[in-house]
Amino acid sequence: MTHLPLGPGREFDRIRAIEATLGARAAALGDDCALIPLDNGDMMALSTDTSLEGTHFRRDWLTPEEIGWRAAASALSDLAAEGAEVIGLLAALTLPGDVTDAMATAIMSGVGACVSEVGGKVLGGDLTRGTSLSVTVTVVGRAPRAVTRHGANAGDGVWVTGTLGSARAALAAWDSGREPRPTARIAFARPLPRIAAGRFLADVGATAMLDLSDGLAGDARHLAAASGVALDIDLAKLPIGAGVTEAASALQVSPAVFAAEGGEDYELLATLPPRSAAKLKQAAAELRVPFTLIGSVHAGEGVRLHLDGQEISIAGYDHFR
Residues 184 and 133 in one domain: no
Q: Which of 222, 234, 217 is nearest to 294 (CA)?
A: 234
Report residue 123: phi and psi, to 5°: -100, -15
Q: What is the mean pLDDT of residues 44-67?
A: 96
Residues 179 and 254 in one domain: yes
Q: Specify if 152 maps to a domain.
A: no
Separation between Cα atoms, residue 242 and residue 240, nearest integer Å = 7
Residue ranges of E strands in the chain: 34-37, 43-52, 85-95, 121-129, 134-143, 157-161, 208-211, 230-234, 268-272, 291-298, 302-307, 310-312
Residue 163 and residue 131 in one domain: no
CA distance 276 to 159: 11
Confidence of residue 5 (pLDDT cuts 50, 70, 90): low
Is 178 a domain residue?
A: yes
Instruction: Measure the CA dihedral 262/267/271/275, to 10°.
Output: -130
- Select from 118, 143, 168 the last residue of a domain: 143
Q: In this structure, are 83 and 222 located in the same domain?
A: no
pLDDT surpasses 60 at 316:
no
Domains identified in the chain, total number: 2
Segment 57-71 mean pLDDT: 97
Write the DSSP assignment of 122-144 as a string of letters. EEEEEEEE-SS-EEEEEEEEEES
Q: What pLDDT score was predicted for residue 1?
A: 45
pLDDT of residue 7: 61
> pLDDT at position 179, please?
94
Residue 206 has pLDDT above 90, yes or no: yes
Per-residue pLDDT tens digits for 264-310: 899 999 999 999 988 998 888 889 999 999 999 999 999 999 999 89
In terms of domains, do 202 and 289 share one? yes
Q: With 0-12 CB in 10 A as exposed, 13-18 as middle and 19+ as buried, what is 29?
A: middle
> Using CA atoms, how far apart are residues 256 and 273, in angstroms rounded to an integer?
25
Strand 85-95, strand 121-129: pairing: parallel
Contact between 208 and 227 (Cβ < 8 Å): yes
- 88 has a pLDDT exceeding 60: yes
**263 pLDDT tier (thresholds 50, 70, 90):** confident
297, part of any domain: yes
Average pLDDT over residues 49-61: 94
Asked, for residue 88, whether it belongs to a domain, the answer is yes
Do the domain assignments include residue 26? Answer: no
Task: Report if residue 260 sits inside a domain.
Answer: yes
Structural domain of residue 108, as residue ranges? Answer: 31-143
* Lowest mean pLDDT across 174-188, 205-219, 249-263, 273-287: 273-287
Domain end point (choices 114, 143, 172): 143
- Give me the mean pLDDT over the 46-54 stretch: 96
Please report the pLDDT score of residue 17 as a whole number: 77
Q: Is 302 found in the same domain as 169?
A: yes
Domain boundary among the residues 143, 174, 190 is at: 143
Residue 144 phi/psi, 5° resolution?
-60, -35
CATH code at position 53: 3.30.1330.10
**317 pLDDT exceeds 80?**
no
- Considering the domain architecture, whether residues 58 and 106 belong to the same structural domain is answered as yes
- Looking up residue 175, the CATH number of its domain turns out to be 3.90.650.10
Residue 47 scores a pLDDT above 90: yes
Judgement on whether residues 266 and 196 belong to the same structural domain of the protein: yes
Same domain? For 165 and 299 the reply is yes
Residue 80 lies in a domain: yes
Same domain, 173 and 269: yes
- For the stretch 128-172, pLDDT in tens is 999 999 999 999 999 999 999 999 999 999 999 999 999 999 999
Q: What would the mean pLDDT of 107-113 be, rounded to a whole number?
A: 98
Q: Does one domain contain both 132 and 76?
A: yes
Backbone angles phi, psi at 140, to 5 degrees: -130, 125
Give yes or no: residues 304 and 179 share one domain. yes
Asked if residue 215 belongs to a domain, the reply is yes
